[in-house]
Amino acid sequence: MDFKRNCTIFIFLILIVLFWYIWYEKSSNDLHKTSRQYTKTQHFNNINNVEYLKDKVVIQTDVLKLVINKYGGDIEKVDLLKYKKKLNSLNYYRLLDTSKNFIYQAQSGLIGIDGPDNPIYNRRPHYITSKNSFKLNTGDHEIRVPMTWKSKEGVVIVKTFIFTPKQYNIKVNFDIFNNTNKCLKVIMFNQLKQTADKSKKLDFDTSDNTFRSFRGAAFSTITDKFHKHNFNDILNNKNIYIHTKVQWISMLQQYFVTAWIPNNNIENTIYTNNLGNGIVTIGYKSNVHQIKPYLKHTIYSKLWVGPKIQDKMALTANNLELTIDYGWLWFLSQPLFQLLNLIHQKISNWGFSIILITFIMKAIMFPLFKIQCVSMTKMRTIQPEINIIKNKYKNDKKKLSQEIINLYKINKINPLGGCLPMLIQMPIFLALYYMLMGSVELRHAPFILWIHDLSNKDPYYILPILMGSTMLLVQKTSPNNITLDKNQQNIMNVMPLVLTTFFLWFPSGLVLYYIINNLLTVIQQWLVSYNFKK
């Protein structure tokens, strides 16, 4: 039984599967609940109406610039003033948009028997504002944008958007004044709709295309903290219809998220729908609100529209920070990011922060690495004896296995000692990968010299080549390298070339991490080998 050979092949297969998974990963939701009750969501066809297109309100804060349509009060455009469209661009990143080819909107309204957004009428309420432009000035604690609609019967609805400095969450209030002698019945809906095919938005952020990062719908409930639902599922009418306590519904992409958050602890209904023309939606609607005659009733909600900033999202809604898609190792990636952020606060350079966290993680994992190296070194020392046993019992496999196992026992060697520590370390490395891939803080973050964006690939491919070189150096100095047969060595020699090809398009920050990790591995291998000989 050749444990060394099997261990090497096992590690090689694990690496291949790992990097295949990273390269071809395309997150999808396994929730395929077909709605037992098809619900026609709010989709109005007056988009070509001239007045509908022109009657807008523009609002600007220190971090957001929005365009709201007075017909329905939907948010149709959002520019993020702290984020550029591309590196060194003069244009801001546009998250929500309404154009001929691409639609991404945050909609809200009141439906039901007495709701002004009732889709039966195929119209939206026309809200009135005191002016068409609002701005949050320096020193303002908040800015309120009230939009008023009045029915022929005398019902008054005031839809108010509330903005605060340095915040990406927007409060949206519906104040309903029932000035009639009958009880009103309305249902509030909040939904996000978007064109599923992002190629129709020609200026879509190129970094959002990296490694098939998840772009789709997601929601959170009391019982299901984070659940993704792929746009393709919605297009194929694999919709959801769930009545539960909703924490939020959202649409995700790599660095940015839009989410509606109900401001109550009652049950709502989450739904998705294919609206046609490639447009999909996710939303929630409330139970029926009854407003008695001559009384006022208020319904609250919040909208997050902006970057995936972990600490701020955690304060906005329960589990909203989970929209930073760290994969199944989120419980490791989240604390790793907190550590990385803490380091950055001290040295103010994300590249050097990555280098320093690599040093820290290698130091923490050194005991396991030492066990791995010592095990491989011991295996190397008894290799001549193993060769003798192989030649002696080459025709008796059972006896061969027994003699090799006895040799391991005599020398106190665990044949899996070189594999298990590596398997334990792999989740840490994979968690770091997810953390570096999903951190908006690295977007357009410079390092040194020619690296001006740690979230994008190296424009000259210098870092990937260095990574491949350092990986080859790790293999050449590995204690296990000497004991490998010719076929095994050929396989391992191909690995640096294969991985270098993978890493050509990896974000510079991630490649930087692997370069430093490989260099530290060489140093640690030398230290372990030196102490073992001594």
> How far, in Å, CA of 84 to CA of 444, rounded?
9
Residue stretches of the chain with pLDDT short of 70:
1-54, 121, 200-212, 415-422, 479-490, 492, 532-534
Q: What is the pLDDT of residue 378?
A: 77
Other CB atoms within a 10 A radius of the CB of residue 17 amount to 10
Q: What is the pLDDT of residue 39?
A: 40
Burial of 523 by CB count in 10 Å (0-12 exposed, 13-18 middle, 19+ buried)? exposed
Q: What is the pLDDT of residue 420?
A: 62
Q: Residue 273 pairs with which residues in a beta bridge? A: 281
> How far, in Å, CA of 17 to CA of 423, rounded?
13
State pTM to two decimals: 0.80
Q: Nearest 5°: phi and psi at 269? A: -115, 120
Q: Which domains does the chain have, with CATH numbers?
A: 3-22+339-533 (no CATH), 28-324 (2.70.98.90)
Q: What is the pLDDT of residue 234?
A: 94
Q: What is the pLDDT of residue 203?
A: 52
Q: What is the pLDDT of residue 479?
A: 63
Q: Residue 242 pairs with which residues in a beta bridge? A: 270
pLDDT by residue (tens digit) across 168-184?
Answer: 999 999 999 999 999 99
In 277-412, beta strands by DSSP E: 279-286, 289-291, 296-307
Q: What is the pLDDT of residue 431?
A: 85
> How far, in Å, CA of 303 to CA of 176, rounded?
20
